[in-house]
Structure 1
Amino acid sequence: MNISIPEQLKRWAEARVAEGRYSSTSDYVRDLVRRDQEQAEKLARLQAAIDEGRASGISKRSIEDIIADARKRRAG
């Protein structure tokens, strides 16, 4: 895969490599793509949890009951 980027971005990527964290600009770009993929997956899981919560309807429990249950679970 070949990509074209503006000179300013090229210099940025090369500077990141020069810092020693990446072995090449390709390594840097791969890391960026991996991080983007991980972020998209986290966002998808969060959205699924939100959708599940919204679909479950309105709880008849009070906020105090919910907090008390959460504290019990955390305590252990």
Structure 2
Amino acid sequence: MATMNVSLPDEMRSYVESQVATGYFANASDFVRHLIRMDSEEGRGRLRELIAEGDRGGISDLTFDEIIAQARESKKSRAA
């Protein structure tokens, strides 16, 4: 298993330690692995929602280039 060092502010370190102290997690690494799994599952769940939304939406009248242009514009507006 690979090793990774992570720097945390004192408040976050205390939180991690408190989670380990509950006994649910064996150590800080176990807690971080849990968080990563949860984040990954949430991302997959969101992707499933978006796919289902697309399936319900039917066929678009837009061309591929128009769809790409809309996606780029949406990305720009979110970044602003």
Does TM, scored on the shorter chain, surpass 0.5?
A: yes
**Cα distance in structure 2, aligned partners of 1:56 and 1:19:** 51
1:46 equivalent among 38, 43, 49: 49
Q: Which residue type is aligned with residue 36 of structure 2?
A: V
| Equivalent residue in structure 2 for 1:37, among 14, 35, 40 | 40
What is the identity, as a one-letter code, of the residue corresponding to 2:8? I
Give the unaligned 5+ runs of structure 1.
58-76
Q: Alpha carbon RMSD of aligned pairs, Å? A: 1.3
1:6 equivalent to 2:14? Answer: no
| TM-score (norm. length: structure 2) | 0.67
Partner residue of 2:24?
A: 21
4+ residue runs over 3 A deviation = none
Residues 45-75 of structure 1 show CA distances to partners (whole Å, capped at 9, x for unaligned) of 0100001111258xxxxxxxxxxxxxxxxxx
2:58: which partner in 1?
55
**Aligned residue identity for 2:27:** S
In structure 2, list runs of 5 or more residues that go unmatched: 61-80
* Percentage identity across paired residues of the two chains: 32
Displacement of 1:3: 1.1
Instruction: Count matched residues.
Output: 57
